[in-house]
Structure 1
């Protein structure tokens, strides 16, 4: 069974499990790096010891130190291979998780679209429109029923009312003809009085005074 059939077949990838696995892989990488550093230090120490034994002309001890050094280096190489394997597995797992997330998102989208199409198929739309038309007709009938006059107003004859209105119009027209014509009064023009002051002639005043004096003397 391939990795894709495991994750997309019967055994589906759990996103939480995938994240937990990636965390464990990172922890394992950190542990391998620490072990690798320890082994490198030990290999370096054995090399220094081999130098010291070589200077001391202790060839057998120097060779033993070099063997240990080689052994430590071999383990370091193995740890490096382990790290590469874990890195490769992490890359694959991250890729599978991204693919799984994509497939799940597409599947959810397709499921929602299918459900929405099922709820809004043509039969349901036709049924909804029929319900709307039915309710509209029912409302119109109710409004018509409420607008029908009842009581005394229901006994009124529209034709009779129109005939009565026509008679009223004729009577009003006849009354207008019998009214006396309205006299057009001319607007009064107010002419202001002009005061004419007559200038007295000094000669005339003098003659009148003399005549009055003569009359008085004759009367005496």
Structure 2
């Protein structure tokens, strides 16, 4: 059985295939396991390096054994690094495929819903409906124009005849005014008296002059 078969628990031809969500979860768990293995190997490599340095001059054989173990741990660590890269790539590809699947599924639902919405629609019926709406709008506009048009209610008169009648009335009024003016001119005015108006008595005139002179002298002396 392959490594991926062991990881996903596969191997049985008749087994049900894992869903994308299940596969992604399995890959994440595997990544976590390998990451822990990385930490373990890095610590072991560090310990073996310390052991080799410690026994480098005192116990050459022990130092060499420590370096051999260190090399094995480094090889395992490199393999795990490669495996992690492969798993990460596979997980990302699976996540993208799952996203695309969900998007396509939702688009399919939307397409079916749109098809159901248009199922009872016919383009010819839509055109007929729009034409009918336009026609009714035109009828409504014509009705509005007729309603707003002034109506005489049967009082259909000749405008020229009305103007002639108005001119006759104006002429009649003008003639009447002229007759009134002429009648006023025939009334005799009062005659101008032929005799002169009586003048003031000479004595009274002299007294008034004396009073004026007295007032003038009083003003001059002040």
Task: Using the TM superposition, give the Cα deviation of residue 18 of structure 1 relative to its aligned residue in structure 2, in angstroms.
Answer: 3.3
Query: CA offsets per residue over residues 51-76 of structure 1, 9 Å max, x none?
Result: xxxxxxxxxxxxxx51x333222221
Structure 1 residues 175 and 125: CA distance shift in structure 2, 3 A: farther
Give matches, 1:64-213, under 5 Å.
65-66=60-61, 68-121=62-115, 124=118, 127=121, 133=129, 164-167=154-157, 172-173=162-163, 175-181=165-171
Q: Any idea what the Cα deviations from partners look like across 1:162-204, whole Å, max 9, x if unmatched?
A: 5613149688556434322487xxxxxxxxxxxxxxxxxxxxx
1:44 and 1:69 in contact (8 A); partners too: yes
Deviation at 1:25, TM superposition (A): 2.2
Q: CA deviation at 1:103?
A: 0.7
Equivalence for 2:17: 10
Instruction: Name stretches of at least 5 consecutive residues in structure 1 with no aligned partner.
Output: 51-64, 148-160, 184-220
Q: Which stretch of the first structure deviates more once superposed, 18-27 or 93-102?
A: 18-27
With over 3 angstroms needed to count, the CA separation of the structure-2 counterparts of 1:13 and 1:96, relative to structure 1, is farther
Aligned residues: CA RMSD? 4.2
Task: Assess, with a 3 A threshold, how the Cα gap between structure 1 residues 45 and 125 changes in structure 2: closer, same or farther.
Answer: same
* Contact kept in structure 2, 1:13 and 1:97, CA below 8 Å: no
Equivalent position SS for 2:56:
helix
TM-score by length of 1: 0.50
Question: Is the partner of 2:170 in helix, strand or coil?
Answer: coil
Residues 123 and 33 (structure 1), Cα distance of their counterparts in 2 relative to 1, 3 Å cut: closer
Q: How high is the TM-score relative to the length of structure 2?
A: 0.50
Q: Give deviations 1:114-133, integer Å, cap 9, x for gaps.
A: 12221223861653986994
Deviation at 1:49, TM superposition (A): 1.0
SS at match of 1:105: helix
Tell me how far 1:23 sits from its aligned partner. 3.2
Alpha-carbon separation, structure 2, partners of 1:118 and 1:175: 81
Counterpart of 2:200? Answer: none
- Counterpart residue number, 1:34: 43
Q: Secondary structure at the match of 2:92?
A: helix
Match of 1:121, SS state, is: helix
